[in-house]
Amino acid sequence: MSEAGIVGGIPGVPPGRLFDDRDALIAAKVHRNKQYGIDFDGRSGLATAIVLSGGYADDKDYGDRILYTGERGRDPRTGRHVKDQTWTLGNQGLRRAHLEGSPVRVVRGANGNGPDLPESGYRYDGLYLVTECSEGERDGFRICQFTLELLPSNEVSVGPGLAELEGGTRYPGRRTTSSSRIVRDAKIARDVKRRHDFTCQICGIRLEVPGGAIAEGAHIRPLGLRHAGPDVPSNLLCLCPNDHALFDHGALWIDESLTIWVSATGEPIGTLRTVAGHAIDLDALAYHRDQIVTGP
């Protein structure tokens, strides 16, 4: 693996392409690791591809969404966890792909569990985005957990050296969301933000812009398939974009007395600001601390 791994699509390898075995995947540079599920590129620090095969009960393949458990820590004969997974190598590579918004190639093997598998061998199934990264426990050991979601085909990279194809100018009919900070917020989030007058509950900043002020509605326990948090005001915080990002990535957590802690240092930095009429769900805060705050 002296050569840097390719991030994104491999030129000449469209989704749906079949491969006889893992040697063929390696030769095509689609997935260059024969032993592990995650192809980790040491040079960039990014995971570039995963293989879904072997039918680990930890993994759930819904087609366009995948709940994926990290590598190592399992007994290869039984599939049971026999030691903690660590945030190193492939697991850390997937976490960095999550942090950088970097796409991951997904390959499905005939012996996987899922709604649409190849009849034999392996099939390259396109580019996915790591949309969640969290910690869980299985058989008494720590596991690294990821959610991957299929990227729309018109936002898909077509290979190295063609970066300009990814950005949107080639697709005038569609704006990618990648670089736009204008997001739609649901009514419930708009209501919470207004109640706090767009003031961040963590740092107290109120970002003033022409025409008003801006803030973001941040879910404490995330919505979606894996975490299934409720979309109610008590599961929302009004945060500035920076603290929203820090909170979502587990750099900060909040205890039951609403003290705010920095995960990396273990030091408190203040108390969550509250307003009358907007209660905070303490169970959601505990969930966030236990599952979203990942180890070093």
- Residue list 215-234, contact with a second copy (CB under 8 A): 216-219, 222-225, 228, 230-232
Contacts for 243 with CB less than 8 Å, ≥ 6 apart = 200, 202, 203, 218, 252
- Give which of 68, 127, 123 is closest to 103, Cα–Cα: 127
Stretch of 49-57, 68-76, 178-186, 281-289 contacting a second copy, by CB under 8 A: 178-186
Alpha-carbon span 280 to 72, nearest angstrom: 37
Q: Using the CB atoms, write b or e for 242-268: b if 16+ within 10 Å.
A: ebbebbbbbebbbeeeeebbebeeeee
Contacts for 173 with CB less than 8 Å, ≥ 6 apart = none
In the complex, minimum distance from the CB of residue 221 to a second copy, in angstroms, rounded to a whole number: 11
- Select from 33, 53, 92, 291 the one that contacts a second copy (CB under 8 A): 92
Q: Which is nearer to a second copy, 123 or 219 (CB)?
A: 219
In the complex, minimum distance from the CB of residue 110 to a second copy, in angstroms, rounded to a whole number: 26
- Select from 131, 255, 258, 273 the one that contacts a second copy (CB under 8 A): 131
In the complex, minimum distance from the CB of residue 89 to a second copy, in angstroms, rounded to a whole number: 12
Site size for a second copy, by CB under 8 A?
86
- Select from 26, 67, 214, 258 the one that contacts a second copy (CB under 8 A): 214
In the complex, minimum distance from the CB of residue 280 to a second copy, in angstroms, rounded to a whole number: 16
Q: Which is nearer to a second copy, 183 or 276 (CB)?
A: 183
Residue 295 as a binder of a second copy (CB under 8 A): the answer is yes
- Select from 39, 59, 71, 166 the one that contacts a second copy (CB under 8 A): 166
Residues 182-211 as x/- pattern, contact with a second copy by CB under 8 A: xxxxxxxxxx-x-----------x-xxxxx
Interface of this chain with a second copy, residues 100 to 129, rule: CB under 8 A = 100-103, 129
Give Cα separations from 145 to 139, 161, 227 (angstroms): 14, 31, 11
Interface of this chain with a second copy, residues 30 to 49, rule: CB under 8 A = 45
Q: Which is nearer to a second copy, 26 or 245 (CB)?
A: 245
The sign of the CA dihedral 69, 71, 72, 77 is positive
In the complex, minimum distance from the CB of residue 97 to a second copy, in angstroms, rounded to a whole number: 10
- Select from 40, 132, 142, 285 the one that contacts a second copy (CB under 8 A): 132
Residue 67 as a binder of a second copy (CB under 8 A): the answer is no
Residue 66 as a binder of a second copy (CB under 8 A): the answer is no
